[in-house]
Homo-oligomer: A and B are copies of this chain.
Amino acid sequence: MKKIGFIGLGIMGKPMALNLLKAGYELTVYDVLAERMDEALKAGARRGLSGKDVASRSEVVITMLPNSPHVREAVLGRDGVLDGAKPGTILVDMSSIAPLASREIAAQAQAKGVAMLDAPVSGGEPKAVAGTLAIMVGGPQETFDTVKDILAKMGSTVTRVGAIGSGNVTKLANQIIVALNIAAMSEAMVLATKAGVDPEKVFQAIRGGLAGSTVLDAKVPLALKGNFKPGFRIELHIKDIANALDTAHELGVPVPLSSVVMEIMQALKADGKATNDHGGIIQFYEQLAKVQVRA
């Protein structure tokens, strides 16, 4: 499989597409915003005119789009991927979307002879550029085996976790834990600071024990500097937690903490902080407690 279509050349999609070009694949690209394609075209990609056009010229079609509705539109909509894809084409959706949406889209693709994987990523723009994303894949083993080498050009770990939708389920599990671990760190550190204890000393005292986490080590030092530059923006984490809540409600799983952290992020968004790093969840607490966690 040498002919790849790539739809969605945003902050993440563009560097991912460039890494495929660098690896020697024949790439046809498409984005609804034409100027987003410029860099890939200059690097040797062919210009696609629509999802349909891209699919008609590709053996594997990759989509990297903001959320479930965009993927539905690009794949199932008019002049979409399924309008142009021949039977045997493989569709790899690398967007982070609702797992139940992945399953529905895959079923419609299947009906046209198109096998689909959901393969959301974690790691953000720097790792997209470096080609070191973590890629979590759901879908048939044999489809996975066919495109694994392609995915490996964009990520340093490519793990199949189960059937279609499993990649996005894993991503949601990841995002629930990250948001809640940040909020946990925030409640603890703001309480300690307001109680008059040096937050840096609290951090050093607890990080080696059961409270230790990658979030603690990554986000406390930034909070101590008041640095909330993204990183991963609160508005994107809102999208992921919205998908987690929808999925949980449809499946009958209570997620009370996730629903509270959603409200906290919504409050920050209402306060104009949606584009801050998700480490800025601590600002919700700092503002209400009238204290700043600073070294």
A interface with B by C-beta (< 8 Å): 99, 122-123, 134, 136, 138, 157, 159, 161-163, 165-166, 169-170, 172-174, 176-178, 180-181, 183-185, 187-192, 194-198, 201-202, 204-206, 208-216, 218, 244, 247-248, 251-258, 260-261, 263-264, 285, 288-291
Instruction: Name which of A176, A209, A213, A289 has the most chain B CB atoms within 10 A of its CB.
Output: A213
Given contacts A122-B209, A138-B197, A159-B204, 8 further A-B contacts (CB under 8 A): A136-B205, A161-B205, A165-B195, A169-B195, A173-B191, A173-B206, A177-B213, A254-B288
Q: 7 closest A-B pairs (Cβ-Cβ)?
A: A213-B213, A180-B184, A173-B188, A177-B211, A212-B214, A253-B289, A176-B188
Main secondary structure of the interface of A (DSSP, over half): helix
Count the copies. 2
User: Roughly how many angstroms separate A202 CA and B264 CA in the complex, as a whole number?
Assistant: 26
Residues of B contacting A210 in the complex (Cβ-Cβ under 8 angstroms): 122, 174, 178, 214-215, 218
User: Roughly how many angstroms separate A239 CA and B286 CA in the complex, as a whole number?
Assistant: 25
A188 with B192, Cβ < 8 A, contacts A170-B202, A197-B166, A210-B218 known: no
Residues of B contacting A136 in the complex (Cβ-Cβ under 8 angstroms): 205
Residues of B contacting A188 in the complex (Cβ-Cβ under 8 angstroms): 172-174, 176-177
A202 with B257, Cβ < 8 A, contacts A187-B176, A251-B194 known: no
Do residues B257 and A197 form an inter-chain contact, with CB atoms below 8 A?
Answer: no
CB distance from A248 to the nearest CB of B (A): 5
Which of B162, B215, B264 is close to A201, meaning CB atoms less than 8 Å apart? B162
User: Roughly how many angstroms separate A198 CA and B173 CA in the complex, as a whole number?
Assistant: 12
Residues of B contacting A173 in the complex (Cβ-Cβ under 8 angstroms): 188-189, 191-192, 202, 206, 211
Which of B174, B184, B195, B254 is close to A176, meaning CB atoms less than 8 Å apart? B184
Do residues A251 and B289 form an inter-chain contact, with CB atoms below 8 A?
Answer: yes
Do residues A159 and B205 form an inter-chain contact, with CB atoms below 8 A?
Answer: yes
Which of B196, B264, B290 is close to A162, meaning CB atoms less than 8 Å apart? B196
Do residues A191 and B176 form an inter-chain contact, with CB atoms below 8 A?
Answer: yes
